[in-house]
Structure 1
Amino acid sequence: MKVLILGGTFFLGYHLVQSAMKAGHNVTIFTRGKTNPEWFAEVEKLVGDRDGNLNALAGRRWDAVIDTSGYLPRIVRDSVSLLADATDHYTFISSISVYRDFLEAGAHEQSPAEELEDPITEDISSAYGGLKALCEHEVMVRMPDRALVIRPGLIVGPQDPTDRFTYWPTRLNKGGTVLAPGHPEASIQMIDVRDLADWTIRMVEARNTGVYNATGPDYPLTMQTLLDKCREVTRSNAEFTWLSNDFLLQQGVGPWIEMPLWIPGIGDTEKVAFMLSVNVDKAISEGLVFRPLSETIIDTLQWDSQRLDSSRKAGMALDREARLIAGWNNQ
């Protein structure tokens, strides 16, 4: 196939290019030429801007388009309007954040989506899920029988820019006494970016359409299991001290970012209590498979060890971790 990827030099986009080339497809990427422009010398690179400069796409045709970089409805509308007659199939990468809430486990593809009070807002930081839902609408309206919408959960693995998963393998690798948050049996979901990319390309090849949640694994994964596996893989001497949700919140610990993958499900996080308990039966029935968790941990550690940028976007500082554990033990 001739595949156009809107994006392609950032995390999922990077791995989609890799997966498409591995499958033997001819890949074109459309970017602003600013992020990792040196990557992929072997693919066709078109430069422009989705916000007002789509000229490089005009007059071209592809068998399939994969949209990895659509966040604002008007921008997605422009891209789909231009490409609707230029492709047979359009894949939009959305997010499970489109759902109105996660007050119960098992959110599925027909669960209610977020509806924004201000549908013309462009504040992605505060309205991310609602904006993604509107972007989906733009795609489905213009290409109703040719559109595939994929809603990933937490995407992890090599090239992950968020550090939300990376924090745990790297922290366990350091050893010592490790702060473990909340309940050991708390549900965890994530998907290795390479599994998501490979499956997306297979779905595109099959011209599948409709909406699919895409996270994993295909078995119940808990925080305890994740931490144990990180300790096993790193051969660490780490020992866990489990601190309660109430204590962590009282100490002002920030869920999800400061303490990655921790969602206490009370207070400000009540609405997303079951965000890591999404139903992915539909995607699994269409061939979504998952590599062993140990492989994701090993490869993430290897990639992290080679990073030039030592700054981290998520995770707790070691001195704060130590103070919190001491405070818990001294109660």
Structure 2
Amino acid sequence: MRVLILGGTDFLGPAVVEEALARGHEVTVFHRGRQAPPPGVEVLRGDRTVEGGLTALSTGGWDVAVDTWSGAPSAVRDTARLLSDRVGHYVYVSSRSVHPFPPPAGAAEDAPVVDSSPDAGEVDYAHAKRGGELAVERFFGERALSARAGLILGPRENVGRLPWWLSRIARGGRVPTPGPRDLGVQYVDVRDLAAWLLEAAGRGLGGAYNLVGPPDHTTIGELLETCVQVTGAQARLCWLEPQDVLDSGVEPWTQLPIWMPPGKFHDGMHRGDVSRALAEGLRCRPVAETVADTWAWLRDLDGPVPQRSDRPRVGLDARAEERLLRRWEERQSS
């Protein structure tokens, strides 16, 4: 296939590029030039946020476009309009965040979504992604695929969730860890997501799909214990009760990345219905492979860990960690 990737230099983009090239596809990357493009691709440069920024896309044709845009829906609208008669299938990487948070446990693609518009300018993340879906649907109809990703982990992660856990555990010592150990974690490896996007586009799938692994794929215990194993660190995981974490004033998800305490917020994030994508071939590699490959990427980095400028930094500072360890010590002595 001839594949156009709109934004191909950051986390998911390079994963799609690598997967497409491995399958023998011809790949074109359209981006702003802020980072080096992956090797082996045709490069088009432009900025979707400025007038005339789509000029490089005014000619040419592709079988598939994969769009990872997270900003104003109007930028997706303008791109989809321009490409509507020169692209066969348009894949928009959306998010499960299009559902009002938290969605109920087991929420599928037909759960309620936020009210947004394809003509909107800068809006919050949920409304941006929903507006982007509507923009692609307006111009591509049944040729539009909305891939509603959940938590994405793997090499090149630029939010810092799994990289933070790996880096902290690698330092060794006592590591405050939020329980219970058997609490489910629902995520998708970025490479499995990339593979599914290309397969689905090649088969002409349309509509919305929740794109994240099954709820029982792993647990917080298996994930963090695997981090200890792959780093070879002299680290002790100090398991805390969820209420102890909350009573210490530590924020789930941000200060303790990936983790949500049991309840409606955990259910909304880690218990979504992904049966539709699984039935259409979504395959999820073992958690040990995701963790090991992310650690290998971190060790090979020549510079700081990438960080998205539009997302807050995650992880515990020294004071918060100390509070949690004191709480753990109190539990041990009681």
TM-score by length of 1: 0.89
1:132 match: 129
Q: Please state whether the residue corresponding to 2:184 is helix, strand or coil.
A: coil
Distance in structure 1 (CA, Å) of the matches to 2:215 and 2:22: 25
Paired residues for 1:146-157 under 5 Å: 146-157=143-154
**1:301 maps to which of 291, 295, 311:** 295
Contact 1:31–1:47 (CA<8 Å) still a contact in 2?
Answer: yes
Distance in structure 1 (CA, Å) of the matches to 2:306 and 2:43: 30
- The one-letter amino acid of 1:17's match is V
Deviation at residue 203 of structure 1 after TM alignment: 1.2
Distance in structure 2 (CA, Å) of the matches to 1:219 and 1:261: 15
Contact 1:70–1:76 (CA<8 Å) still a contact in 2?
Answer: no
Using the TM superposition, name which of 285-294 and 179-188 deviates more.
Answer: 179-188
Contact 2:215–2:270 (CA<8 Å) still a contact in 1?
Answer: no
- The one-letter amino acid of 1:63's match is D
- The one-letter amino acid of 1:44's match is E
Deviation at residue 186 of structure 1 after TM alignment: 2.2
Paired residues for 1:174-253 under 5 Å: 174-217=171-214, 219-253=216-250
- The one-letter amino acid of 1:29's match is V
Q: 1:154 to 1:328 in 2, by over 3 A?
A: same
Normalized per residue, the structure richer in strand is: 2
Using the TM superposition, name which of 248-257 and 73-82 deviates more.
Answer: 248-257
Q: What are the Cα deviations for residues 20-77 of structure 1, in whole angstroms up to 9, with x where unaligned?
A: 111111111111111x22x334211111111231111112211111111243211111
Work out whether 1:263 is the aligned partner of 2:263.
no
Distance in structure 2 (CA, Å) of the matches to 1:183 and 1:103: 22
Work out whether 1:49 is the aligned partner of 2:43.
no
Q: 1:294 to 1:182 in 2, by over 3 A?
A: closer
Deviation at residue 311 of structure 1 after TM alignment: 8.2
Q: 1:264 to 1:115 in 2, by over 3 A?
A: farther
- The one-letter amino acid of 1:302's match is A
Q: What are the Cα deviations for residues 263-320 of structure 1, in whole angstroms up to 9, with x where unaligned?
A: 2367xxx556421111111111111111111111111111112221168732223564
- The one-letter amino acid of 2:38's match is F
TM-score by length of 2: 0.89
Distance in structure 2 (CA, Å) of the matches to 1:272 and 1:186: 9
Aligned length: 322
Using the TM superposition, name which of 99-108 and 279-288 deviates more.
Answer: 99-108
Using the TM superposition, name which of 93-102 and 9-18 deviates more.
Answer: 93-102
Distance in structure 2 (CA, Å) of the matches to 1:298 and 1:136: 34
Q: Please state whether the residue corresponding to 1:166 is helix, strand or coil.
A: helix
RMSD value, Cα: 2.3
1:80 match: 80
Q: 1:54 to 1:263 in 2, by over 3 A?
A: same
1:22 match: 22
- The one-letter amino acid of 1:78's match is D
Using the TM superposition, name which of 229-238 and 57-66 deviates more.
Answer: 229-238
